[in-house]
Amino acid sequence: MPSDPAEPRILIPQNLSPNAIASRLADGRIVAIGGRTMGTTWSAKIVAKGELPGVEAALQALLDRVVDEMSNWEAASNVSRFNRLAAGQWQTLPPDFFTVLRRGLEIAAASHGAFDPTAGALVDMWGFGPAPARLEPPADAEIATALAATGYRRIELDVHARRARQPGGVSLDLSGIAKGYAVDLLADFLRERGHRHFLVEVGGELVGDGILPDGQPWWVDLEAPPGLRVAPARIALHGLAVATTGDYRRFFDHAGRRYAHSIDPRTGQPVENGVAAVSVVYRRCMDADAWATALAVLGMEAGMTLATEQGVAARFITNEGGEAFSPALAAMLD
């Protein structure tokens, strides 16, 4: 008999630590702060015994730093300046930018190009970047031109000098990984300052650590597309991150067809594989962010195969409301 769609499935990470329970602040309270960044909102819930002066401003400054370095919407950002470089030129990158680009290229290789941080020309061409939104799909010749400017293998990194080489015409787009990295930055900041119990979020991507004052973990429902009858999947987010990507977030309709923002960097076309959303649970939100994008591009069959091979904990939801858990996520079912 099928389960009641209203009844949540409970996911318990296998790394729940007795130390978290022992260190809980039973006399603490949740301090909630937040703001806006990257065209969306951010929030932090921190268990503390009193007010936290200066923390909100410090977290906002970290997010502003990510925007200044990695936003394609900012002409003066480091990534925009890299994209304007002439062929063969090198650019020294700030530590955050270099970390994100390096990890993005690694996941690009591991996903066989399903995630590709060099797909900026394709994203812009389809109207999902800083360029004006489109009302109709581009011509085949436009797609071919953008594809010729795409390819993670074309980027050369100098790890010792922390710099990258522009091969000519490549447009980096880190939007599929930078937001997750920003969440990691917030979590790392709090840990470094002795906060052991918190939940931080940017645009629906989250990192949780520790527990609530009453001893309960941070319970988070994996995001599901609106309008689909899918039983909630609720995870105790303890020392883990979760990110979701879906074809319902940004799109345009033309001639009876929907073109979603998820672009396959290998073909230059919006994804049409029946997958409505993919959620990934991972140690770092940066990785969860990029893997969710890669698996959504690959689709249910190829994505599940790769998630199984890589040990990625993922939930796939189809346009018809079907779902599947990768082995790593299924192992968390209570």
Contact 210, 60 (CB under 8 A): no
If you ran DSSP here, which 8-state letter would residue 152 be given?
G
Query: Mean pLDDT, to the nearest integer, of 147-161?
Result: 97
For 63-98, what is each residue's pLDDT tens digit? Answer: 999 999 999 999 999 999 999 999 999 999 999 999
User: Which residues contact residue 221 at a Cβ distance below 8 angstroms, ignoring those fewer than 6 apart?
Assistant: 8, 232, 233, 234, 235
Residue 307 in tokens: 């998630």
What is the identity of the amino acid at 6?
A: A
**Count of beta carbons in the 10 Å neighbourhood of residue 5:** 12
- Candidate ranges 134-143, 184-193, 216-225; pick with highest mean pLDDT: 184-193
Tell me the domain boundaries of the chain.
9-330
CA 236 to CA 222: how far, in whole Å? 11
Confidence at residue 236, expressed as pLDDT on a 0 to 100 scale: 94
CA 115 to CA 102: how far, in whole Å? 13
Q: What share of the chain is helix, strand, coil (3-state, %, to 5)?
A: 30, 25, 45
The domain defined by 9-330 folds into T-fold (3.10.520)
Global pTM reads 0.94
Residue 1 has pLDDT above 70, yes or no: no
Confidence at residue 135, expressed as pLDDT on a 0 to 100 scale: 78
Residue 42 in tokens: 């951010």
Q: Which of 37-46, 133-142, 232-241 has the lowest mean pLDDT?
A: 133-142
For 283-334, what is each residue's pLDDT tens digit? Answer: 999 999 999 999 999 999 999 999 999 999 999 999 888 999 999 999 999 7
CA torsion sign, 58 to 101 to 269 to 280? negative
CA 176 to CA 245: how far, in whole Å? 9
